[in-house]
Amino acid sequence: MNLHAIRAIYRFEMARTFRTITQSIASPVLSTALYFIVFGAAIGSRMGDIDGVSYGAFIIPGLLMLSLLSESISNASFGIYMPKWAGTIYELLSAPVSWFEVVIGYVGAAATKSLMLGVLILVTARVFVPYEIAHPVWMIGFLVLTAVTFSLFGFIIGLWADDFQKLQVIPLMVVTPLTFLGGAFYSIGMLPPFWQKVTLFNPVVYLISGFRWSFYGTADVGIVTSTAMTFGFLVLCLAFVWWVFRTGWKLRN
């Protein structure tokens, strides 16, 4: 494995993050802090508990997932799109670097940024809402798995996009609505029976449910199912990226 190439890609992407730290880190943390102020401190104090958890604490996993998914996709998609836009992607393709090493470099950097953001959001949440983590090891594992999986999904979006507008279409028009409708602010059990079944077709439900279980030991979907669904999506994304580099789709035209 070409560790020098992986390190070069990783360090370049991380350096870009620290050059734009206000946009990459400060802005998402501030936006999430506003959610905690409005929904956690203001509205949450007037609502009852959900599954034995205060409303302010109940929404923490959902809000964290909302930021994590958006930033993972955005970081990875922008990272691989810029070489395509600038034309330097051909240097990468002609270098003695395998597709897997390219993925490790770009996706690893994007996932690292998302994990940094996730830690900062957890620290910020503690300022507004008291909470406990029932299964810290599961929480860290699920956080890493989600960051890597959706950074890989963002990498695919960056390969697919032909312009900057397309980079924002799926995060804004698909991922964000699915997150809001996936139980970020409520329990699926609060919905009518018909809509509970419909909601299970939303893949984000499994992410939020599994992550919430790691915090409070309660979930709308079993932790095994949530983990399996996330792993399945990760494998599917890896297979698609392998196919893209093998065929040159969106890379050589």
Containing structural domain, residue 143: 3-45+52-247
**Is 253 inside any structural domain?**
no
pLDDT at 249 over 90: no
pTM of the model: 0.91
**Is 61 inside any structural domain?**
yes
**Is 252 inside any structural domain?**
no
Long-range contacts of 115-118, Cβ-Cβ distance < 8 Å, separation of 24 or more: 115/143, 115/144, 115/147, 116/25, 117/25, 117/28, 117/29, 117/67, 117/68, 117/71, 118/64, 118/67, 118/68, 118/143, 118/147
Directed axis angle between helix 3-19 and helix 99-128, to 10°?
A: 40
| pLDDT tens sequence across 104-121 | 999 999 999 999 999 999
**Is 17 inside any structural domain?**
yes
**Is 82 inside any structural domain?**
yes
Do 171 and 70 form a contact (C-beta atoms < 8 A)? yes
| pLDDT tens sequence across 141-192 | 999 999 999 999 999 999 999 888 888 888 888 888 998 888 888 888 888 9
**Is 227 inside any structural domain?**
yes
